[in-house]
Structure 1
């Protein structure tokens, strides 16, 4: 199943690709050429949302959450989006931006292990 985005989502995704944060850039550089052969998309439009990183064969989303994700209505918006993705049979992994910078290798190992496991589940 293809996960397509709205026109507004695709426009926002293109803009966000040019404005990635330091933790997002670090993760992108670490996962894009992984040994498991997993392909990730960055700032991928899905419905009315933009996903930080998406691995389609594993149906896996990786979100890098900065401080803004803890303020205002963001927790509720994130929960609503995560629920929509769950209905699409997509798992969301959330990592604080600080953890991305402090423990990048561990985060990448965890992401890779989960993605490989999920990819094999959907290939069979």
Structure 2
């Protein structure tokens, strides 16, 4: 696995985003932080492959992205697909959840994350 540098501008943006999470990101982070979800270690706004991902569990190479309505626009779908393919080519599994799914059914979102990691358990 090669390391792709992250520009200082992207790093600063990640830091800013950690301080200004959306309601859905905050709700999910409250489930993931401090090993609350099955003892798993997640990081937020983590630089990977030149991107800043919403949440990552490095131990299981899992990325969780939280998508708002702007991700439904044609140009963003294409960009998200390219991003996902790049991350997958580096060995990461990428899960995407809509804001509404997190806000309305956090238990199912967490169950899906656990099931996905369970597939990779030794």
Normalising by structure 2, what TM-score?
0.88
Asked if structure 2 preserves the Cα contact closer than 8 Å seen for 1:13 and 1:50, the reply is: yes
**Higher relative contact order by CA 8 Å / sep ≥ 6: 1 or 2?**
1
* Poorly superposed stretches of 4+, deviation over 3 Å: 1-5
Report how many residues are paired. Answer: 120
Query: Does the aligned pair in 1 maintain the 2:62–2:94 contact within 8 Å?
Result: yes
| 2:26 aligned with 1:25 | yes
Q: Does 77-86 or 104-113 show the bigger shift?
A: 104-113
Does 2:54 correspond to 1:61?
no
SS in structure 1 of the partner of residue 25 of structure 2: helix
Of the structure 1 ranges 28-37 and 14-23, higher mean CA displacement relative to structure 2 is found in 28-37
Contact map agreement 1:9 1:46 (CA 8 A) in 2: no
CA contact (8 A) 1:40 1:54 kept: yes
Gaps of 5+ in 2: none
1:110 aligned residue (89, 112, 115): 112
TM-score w.r.t. length of structure 1: 0.87
| Alpha-carbon distance change, 35 to 44 in structure 1, aligned in 2, over 3 angstroms | closer
